[in-house]
Amino acid sequence: MFSTNPFAAVIDVVPAGLVQSFVVLMAFAVAIGTVLDVYHKGSGRYFAQRRARAKAAARRPMNAMRKATAVVKGLAEASVSGEFCKWNRRLSHLLMMYGFILYVIATVMLVFALPEAAAPGPWVALWDLGALMILAGGAWFFFFLRVNVAYDGDSRFHVGRADLFVLLLMGSALLGLLWHGVQALSASAGLNLTLFGIYLFFTALLFLSVPWSKFSHMFYKPAVAVQRKLEEASGASDLPDPTPRRRTRS
């Protein structure tokens, strides 16, 4: 199973260019969906206002070195989901985030660089590993860590619009694994293509639903972390310093 490129069986039937075009289209869908999301939620305007306020409240001049350090710190925080205060939420998000990154990179490699059946290198195994990480982190989050389940008393199976992203992400990963597993069992070409069609449908929904789902929060979070670090570095943060003081300052 780990040595056979799952996309090779499709590329035997469908031109490779068509499958590659689908991947490129999905990348465009994410970019356009994120722009629409930023527009309709007013996030772009909010970030611009906050930046202007922080600039006006800055206490220290920000040279290029300070800015670069703050940006690196913000990105480092986002890369380990450092904004989470609870380890279990953090770990489930890290599993989903790095699983998804692995899954996307491996897909691109398998579709563009290694479309032959016996794909060399670790990419097939990494594709499966990415999907498994998504499933593990996603199921953990969905059944045990969703805040409306943990605090608002909703059922573990309650589904709302906020769950669109995690459900589609898990759906894509699960169907991908199922499709790959069925291929490994030497199933008929008809069953293989049917499963591929279902997999493709859910994967397309995942990327086309960006304006309505929480997909774009994976881009907002690093932006917020960087902005917060820049505010801290320039002294513009409105939060007090918890160092004990005896006298008030005016």
Interface with other proteins by CB under 8 A: which residues? 43, 46-47, 83-86, 89, 146-148, 150-152, 160-162, 214, 220, 224, 228, 238-245, 248-250
Q: Least distance from C-beta 90 to other proteins, angstroms?
A: 9
Nearer to other proteins, 38 or 175 (CB): 38
> Closest separation between CB of residue 234 and other proteins, Å?
16
Tell me how far, at minimum, the Cβ of 168 lies from other proteins, in Å: 15
Strand boundaries in the chain, DSSP class E: none
Residue 242 DSSP code? -
**Cα–Cα dist 191/197, whole Å:** 10
Q: In this complex, which beta carbon is closest to other proteins, that of residue 15 or of residue 160?
A: 160
Residue whose CB is less far from other proteins, 63 or 241: 241
Query: Token pair for residue 77?
Result: 């925080």
Token digits of residue 162: 């906020």
Query: Smaller CB distance to other proteins: residue 101 or 150?
Result: 150
The whole-angstrom separation of Cα 210 and Cα 196 is 22
- Min dist CB 248 to other proteins, Å, is 5
Element at 30 (helix H, strand E): helix 16-41
Cβ–Cβ under 8 Å, residues 98 and 106 = no
